[in-house]
Structure 1
Amino acid sequence: MSATTPSPPPTGRTRPTAEDGPARPRIGIAGIAIESSTFTPYRSSASDFEVRRGTADILDRFPFFTDGSDSGRVLHEAADYVGVLHARALPGGQLEREVYEGWKREITEGLAAAHAEQALDGFFFDIHGAMSVVGLEDAEGDLITAIRGAVGPDVVVGTAMDLHGNVSETLFDACDLLTCYRHAPHIDAWETRERGLRDLVAAATRVRDGGALPHKALVHVPILLPGEMTSTRIEPAASIYGGIPALTEREGVTDVSCWIGFAWADQPRCQAAIVAFGDDASAVEDAALELAGSLWQARHRFEFVAPTGSFTQCLDRAIASEARPFWISDSGDNPGAGGADDTTHCLARLLDREEILSGQVSALMVSLVDPVSADAAWDLGVGGRGEFAVGGRIDARDPGPVPLRAEVAALDESGPTGRAAALRVLDGERPTGLTVVVTGRRSQWARQEMFERLGLSMTGFDVVTVKMGYLEPEQYEAAADWMLALTPGGVDQDLVRLGHSRIRRPMIPFDKEIPAPGAADVRAGGGTPRP
């Protein structure tokens, strides 16, 4: 236990008496949510995060508590919630250690104080599941261990995670209920949190009243693949995840989940994981093994969600295509997976194309984080013209900052991007067909309203190059056709090229074969009453 972790509280905390009326379970909520690449030079800091403190602010984060739905109202009234701290950021690099330690201390001290005032029955660990912190191999495992030290062993702990998170043995042992998304793209993110919180409230109520904890089972499957190969839009992931609801309907099974793991961190915990929980130990273990077997059987069938190629190959096809707009994902620098958001590999190649320079083909590059260029654009104002050196300030791999002359077409600072500027590239004083968006903060342009702030449209250009992996729903709808460019960067899709050295082996795709999961691979727990 670290020196900053409060001592475990004694048991026997005060609880409401019968005279106080029907007792509702008391549920703490806290967490740090970020997806972190260990291969990017970027370091995530406090300024990257939206931080919420206190019950009202944290509960306001959950749309099912604020949208007026019957299920949300029932869940809100089913427990007394105690929010401590929640920090959330766009995926990035490893979190600075001192920032993490400060938030960990605030969370543990806040939970310890709340538990001392009146016993917590449950705790909702609101995380992504793929956070990396400088100097730690298992950040979520470290945080939940500290939290257990603050609230003791009797509090029922549940978590709801991104399916691209990691489930280490430490995290599994410390949590009583674990679930994750069933769709990629993540159209069920809030549905999953509502399900996880609902199951936690039910379990905490039952355990408080003398019932047993759910049985739980974990099976690791040594597969580590990017989300762009495991999208539930296509097979085999569509069928694997599509089969989960039927497993949860079995007698004695409450929930079954499949984490595909986080491919861009070099840590022993990074691999696929199956977790099930429910009232019947045998049924729970059987369901976990069955889903693990389905994943193992499909191990050689995973393919990219779209046609792939080098950026040059993708651009060749885009320019030649009659489909407009044609979207290209700069996947190796996807900020939504932790990329730096400023590599210039694609920008340099867009500037080499005569079809674009002449204006025959209109092209949009969105976006590169570059506060220096964004500030320069604001100094010039809309219509101003000047010289810029764009990108390559964080991830300076070849070619580094790209010089260009541009006219400021639009400015905006109303959104989460900080100062943003649309730069229309010039050839001398003549406008070309290329517009480049630069921003003050790392960002992911996945929604139409982000484009509209700069007077842009998702469908207003012949070719759109975006720093993404698979396209999010609004992008997917806007694209007449698209390709996934296998570009260099901190979230390179070529995992072997990245150079993992600390993952467990054997592991697909680093090894040709892995053993089939069996009963000996099941890690079980739960099923007993709390003292």
Structure 2
Amino acid sequence: MTRPRVAVAGVWHETNVFGPHRATLDRFREYELLSGGEIRDRHHDVKTVIGGFLDGLGWADVDAVPVFSAGAWPGGPAPARDFGRILEQLGDELAAAHTEAPLDAVLLNLHGAMTAENAPDAEAEVVRVVRTVVGDQLPIGAVLDLHANPTSAFVDACQVVMCYDTYPHVDMWERGVEVATLISQCVRGRKLQTTLRKSPLLTLPSAQGTNDAPMVGIRSRAAGAASSVGRISIAAGFAYTLPERIGLSALIVHDQRNSAEASSIADAVVADIDLHADDFEVRRPSVSDAVSAALATTTAKPVVLADLADNIGGGSAGDGTALLAELLSRNARGVLGIIADPETAARAHASGEGAVISCAIGGKFDKLHGRPIETDARITAITDGVYRSAGTYMTGQTFNMGPTAALDIGDGAATILVTTRPTPPFHIEQFTHAGVDPTRAQVIIAKGAIAWRSAYESIAKSVIEVSTPGACAIDIQALRETATR
């Protein structure tokens, strides 16, 4: 008996409309732009969504057919031409696989908050291309990020849509396995669909942690309400996108015969979200106040200062200087941080380990993230910026920050890694691969809202989330005004 064939594909990007790094083809090539067997080679035995697809299909006695995978770290919108090329390659690779032997379903690794210059709803465009190739009858399953802003146009074109359950995101592989299992059941005759309901509520990443209120309560009540009808997931949404995409979403995967009940439950879940709207309010200390609190801390160190607005995982610049500048002005010692600065990284590599250089660190990508810091720095390490994650975010995956250097500023005042590419602070290996031990720091600057916890929560003795300037600022209205000046 011939085993079913299910295509595996993905187009993954979280788009921050204020972010300076546009999602060009080069940005995808830096992170992931693969086809065919290359996808299996990269994701086999790795805790990614696609790794979960491959494992789930195998356990369901279904042949996985890796087709195409494009992914880039969060940033600004994709140029129209580049997004068009991605869609074209997706369509061509999928058509070739379908021609070789008919496909029975398609699995998609998507983000849910991607936009392009010519596509405010990029995920809907991806599914449109897929449907053009495979028709309207084949089941499509998709895994989205918890920060997704899914639209009805997208969800209605799929059978199974589910988002990560966790933030920090530590269940990517599990969701891949789960959706692959459900789509395998669809291939064998089960009739599933996904009901979507949305609240227009705008919430910030720092209020979306799934182990914290209000999300922990909302998710628990939603799971209880939907347990009799299907599988519910809550997409907390991404605030730094187009206004029409903003909102929290309830997604219920259920058998078609339960549509009416699922619709009623989804309405009730969204009503519960709206009832707790005030619980999502975010107020955080200023840079000055946060640094004062960190320096006054007398308990064991390190203290983590979370740079909320320069949240690289949310598409910011990654070169914000506000916290570092304030700490240096206060004569702080033992500061540890990472700043994306390809110019300084290149100068360090040209100068070599042990050299002292005069440089201007950070603050170069745009006008939102502070001014460069003029300083002398001693180069303590030179690396290629490549490391393999042993932590909970994409365990086993290899990441590349580009040529990287560790700089000692002020004879121990601060150790700053300057990287060529902005890379979210999801892994402690970003420091340890360069011989830097974060446990010995007094203050760690983490450029993120919540997801940095997967790397540093186990060593942090205290945490201060800081209202900094940048593309993921707390005051979104002020951010919009600043960005348009």
What TM-score results when the alignment is normalised by the length of structure 2? 0.89
Report the CA distance between 1:107 and its aligned residue. Answer: 0.8
Residue correspondence of structure 1 range 457-476 to structure 2 within 5 A? 457-470=437-450, 471-476=452-457
- The answer to whether the Cα contact below 8 Å between 2:8 and 2:108 also exists between their aligned partners in 1 is yes
SS at match of 2:19: coil
Report the CA distance between 1:142 and its aligned residue. Answer: 1.6
- Alpha carbons of structure 1 residues 385 and 65: separation in structure 2 relative to 1, 3 Å: closer
Q: Does 1:308 align with 2:273?
A: no
- Alpha carbons of structure 1 residues 490 and 399: separation in structure 2 relative to 1, 3 Å: closer
Which residue does the alignment assign to 1:450? Answer: 430
Which residue does the alignment assign to 2:389? Answer: none
Report the CA distance between 1:444 and its aligned residue. Answer: 2.1
- The answer to whether the Cα contact below 8 Å between 1:256 and 1:277 also exists between their aligned partners in 2 is yes
Report the CA distance between 1:344 and its aligned residue. Answer: 2.1
Q: Does 1:120 align with 2:103?
A: yes
What whole-Å deviation, never above 9, does each CA across 1:392-439 have from its counterpart, x for those lacking one?
Answer: 22123474222111111222115111111111113xxxx251222210
Amino acid at match of 1:291: V
Report the CA distance between 1:341 and its aligned residue. Answer: 0.7
Which residue does the alignment assign to 1:189? Answer: 172
- Alpha carbons of structure 1 residues 244 and 399: separation in structure 2 relative to 1, 3 Å: closer
- Alpha carbons of structure 1 residues 248 and 119: separation in structure 2 relative to 1, 3 Å: farther
Amino acid at match of 2:171: D
Which residue does the alignment assign to 2:395? Answer: none
Report the CA distance between 1:160 and its aligned residue. Answer: 0.9
SS at match of 1:478: coil
Which residue does the alignment assign to 2:406? Answer: 422
Runs of at least 5 residues in structure 1 that lack an aligned partner in the other structure: 1-20, 501-531
Q: Does 1:179 align with 2:162?
A: yes
Which residue does the alignment assign to 1:320? Answer: 296
- Alpha carbons of structure 1 residues 217 and 397: separation in structure 2 relative to 1, 3 Å: closer
Amino acid at match of 2:425: W
Which residue does the alignment assign to 1:404? Answer: 375
Amino acid at match of 2:11: I
- 2:51 and 2:294 map into 1 onto residues whose CA distance is 45
Which residue does the alignment assign to 2:307? Answer: 330
Which residue does the alignment assign to 1:510? Answer: none
Please point out which of 414, 432, 437 is paired with 2:417: 437
- 1:408 and 1:309 map into 2 onto residues whose CA distance is 33
**Structure having the higher Rg:** 1
- 2:70 and 2:97 map into 1 onto residues whose CA distance is 19
Report the CA distance between 1:474 and its aligned residue. Answer: 2.8
Report the CA distance between 1:215 and its aligned residue. Answer: 4.0
Report the CA distance between 1:234 and its aligned residue. Answer: 1.1
Please point out which of 329, 333, 338 is paired with 1:367: 338
- 1:277 and 1:397 map into 2 onto residues whose CA distance is 40
Which residue does the alignment assign to 1:107? Answer: 90
- 1:382 and 1:344 map into 2 onto residues whose CA distance is 24
Between the two proteins, the alignment pairs up a number of residues equal to: 460
Which residue does the alignment assign to 1:6? Answer: none
Q: Does 1:278 align with 2:250?
A: no
SS at match of 1:94: coil
- 1:177 and 1:73 map into 2 onto residues whose CA distance is 15
Q: Which moved more, 1:42-51 or 1:147-156?
A: 42-51
- Alpha carbons of structure 1 residues 272 and 399: separation in structure 2 relative to 1, 3 Å: closer
Which residue does the alignment assign to 2:396? Answer: none
Which residue does the alignment assign to 1:162? Answer: 145
Which of structure 1's runs of 4+ aligned residues deviate more than 6 A? 64-69
- 2:366 and 2:51 map into 1 onto residues whose CA distance is 44
User: Cα RMSD over matched residues?
Assistant: 2.5
Amino acid at match of 1:489: G
- Alpha carbons of structure 1 residues 456 and 56: separation in structure 2 relative to 1, 3 Å: closer
Please point out which of 340, 351, 355 is paired with 1:380: 351
- Alpha carbons of structure 1 residues 148 and 74: separation in structure 2 relative to 1, 3 Å: closer
Which residue does the alignment assign to 1:490? Answer: 471
Report the CA distance between 1:65 and its aligned residue. Answer: 9.1
- The answer to whether the Cα contact below 8 Å between 2:57 and 2:184 also exists between their aligned partners in 1 is no
Report the CA distance between 1:74 and its aligned residue. Answer: 6.8
What whole-Å deviation, never above 9, does each CA across 1:151-185 have from its counterpart, x for those lacking one?
Answer: 11111111011110111121112111111111111
SS at match of 2:173: helix
Which residue does the alignment assign to 1:339? Answer: 316
Which residue does the alignment assign to 2:364? Answer: 393
Amino acid at match of 2:442: D
- The answer to whether the Cα contact below 8 Å between 2:369 and 2:470 also exists between their aligned partners in 1 is no
Amino acid at match of 2:344: S
Q: Does 1:242 align with 2:235?
A: no
- 1:65 and 1:464 map into 2 onto residues whose CA distance is 27
SS at match of 2:347: helix
Which residue does the alignment assign to 1:231? Answer: 209
What whole-Å deviation, never above 9, does each CA across 1:428-469 have from its counterpart, x for those lacking one?
Answer: xxx251222210111123322221112212221111112111
- Richer in helix (by share): 2
- Alpha carbons of structure 1 residues 97 and 390: separation in structure 2 relative to 1, 3 Å: same
Which residue does the alignment assign to 1:46? Answer: 25
- 2:136 and 2:297 map into 1 onto residues whose CA distance is 61
- 1:254 and 1:490 map into 2 onto residues whose CA distance is 37
Runs of at least 5 residues in structure 2 that lack an aligned partner in the other structure: 387-399
- 1:74 and 1:197 map into 2 onto residues whose CA distance is 6
- The answer to whether the Cα contact below 8 Å between 2:15 and 2:241 also exists between their aligned partners in 1 is yes
Q: Does 1:348 align with 2:325?
A: yes
SS at match of 1:349: helix
Which residue does the alignment assign to 1:136? Answer: 119
Q: Does 1:61 align with 2:37?
A: no
- 1:319 and 1:375 map into 2 onto residues whose CA distance is 33
Which residue does the alignment assign to 2:16? Answer: 37
- Alpha carbons of structure 1 residues 244 and 25: separation in structure 2 relative to 1, 3 Å: farther
Please point out which of 259, 273, 279 is paired with 1:295: 273
- Alpha carbons of structure 1 residues 340 and 246: separation in structure 2 relative to 1, 3 Å: same
- The answer to whether the Cα contact below 8 Å between 2:56 and 2:178 also exists between their aligned partners in 1 is no
- 2:46 and 2:445 map into 1 onto residues whose CA distance is 34
- The answer to whether the Cα contact below 8 Å between 2:308 and 2:448 also exists between their aligned partners in 1 is yes
Report the CA distance between 1:59 and its aligned residue. Answer: 7.1
- The answer to whether the Cα contact below 8 Å between 1:331 and 1:487 also exists between their aligned partners in 2 is yes
What whole-Å deviation, never above 9, does each CA across 1:318-374 have from its counterpart, x for those lacking one?
Answer: 0010131111011111111100111222232222113x2xxxx3211x211111101
Report the CA distance between 1:275 and its aligned residue. Answer: 1.7
What whole-Å deviation, never above 9, does each CA across 1:507-527 have from its counterpart, x for those lacking one?
Answer: xxxxxxxxxxxxxxxxxxxxx
Which residue does the alignment assign to 1:263? Answer: 239
Report the CA distance between 1:220 and its aligned residue. Answer: 1.1
Amino acid at match of 1:27: V
Report the CA distance between 1:94 and its aligned residue. Answer: 1.4
